[in-house]
Amino acid sequence: MNKKLYIDDFIIWHESDNEKLPDVSFVPPMMRRRMTGLEKIAIGLAGRIAPQTQNYTVVFASRFGEWEQTIQLIRQFHSDKEMSPAGFSNSVHNAAAGAFSLLTKNTNTYTSIAAGDNTLEMAVLKALTSDGDVMVVFAGEHSPEIYNSVLKEPQNAFGLAVMLKTDGLRKIKVLSGDTQADILTMEKLTNFLTGKTNSVSTKTWTMLND
């Protein structure tokens, strides 16, 4: 792989005591009321850096997806022997991507990715191998308490959105990956985006400032 791109904008967010979810006041009230926590994270961040044009690809990624919504559906089915159609539509992995597409009226393609520990790496790979301008959104909601016993540690809500363009101010070079690289983490990508490191490598790709 040998490609040159530009980082147009990015935003990084972590849950805090003062902000449990990003601001989504720009979303119309009717749509906002139906949004899940994960949708509020992904769309809240994506909406802040989305270009005015409607011609860009979007890659949404989340390792665990709609945790809370799925638990609610299972409990509802257990008690009522049926599921809410609206609840089910918000539980699928591409719910945030579809809602963002409707909100922005962007008719270009979108992709939703879940790839275990490699979810972030695969989301960026999809963006790097796409044509034209691409937005990458990676998000996760606060892990439900019911999963604490099987997780290495509880997960706080987080999100990241990056806009990659074919022209812009901050030029980067994309090369083939390092087969010895460790799993890509939010911290590693954050350090590169914020200029703390000059490059970031995964097994499939390497990005460095050009």
In the chain, what are the domain boundaries? 7-163
3-7, 32-36, 41-45, 78-82: range with lowest mean pLDDT: 78-82
pLDDT digits (tens, 9 = 90+) for 157-175: 999 999 999 998 899 999 9
Inform me whether the pLDDT recorded for 70 exceeds 90: no
| Mean pLDDT along residues 3-27 | 94
pLDDT of residue 47: 95
Q: What angle do CA 109, 1, 206 make, to 5 degrees?
A: 90
Q: Could you tell me the pTM of the whole model? A: 0.90
- Other beta carbons within 10 Å of 80: 9
pLDDT of residue 56: 94
Inter-axis angle of helices 67-80 and 37-49, nearest 10: 150
* Averaged confidence pLDDT in the chain: 90
pLDDT of residue 74: 78
Question: Among the CATH numbers 3.40.50.2300, 3.20.80.10, 3.40.50.300, 3.40.47.10, which is that of 7-163?
Answer: 3.40.47.10
Inform me whether the pLDDT recorded for 152 exceeds 80: no
Q: Do the Cβ atoms of 117 and 64 come closer than 8 Å?
A: no
Token code pair at residue 18: 């003062």
pLDDT of residue 87: 67
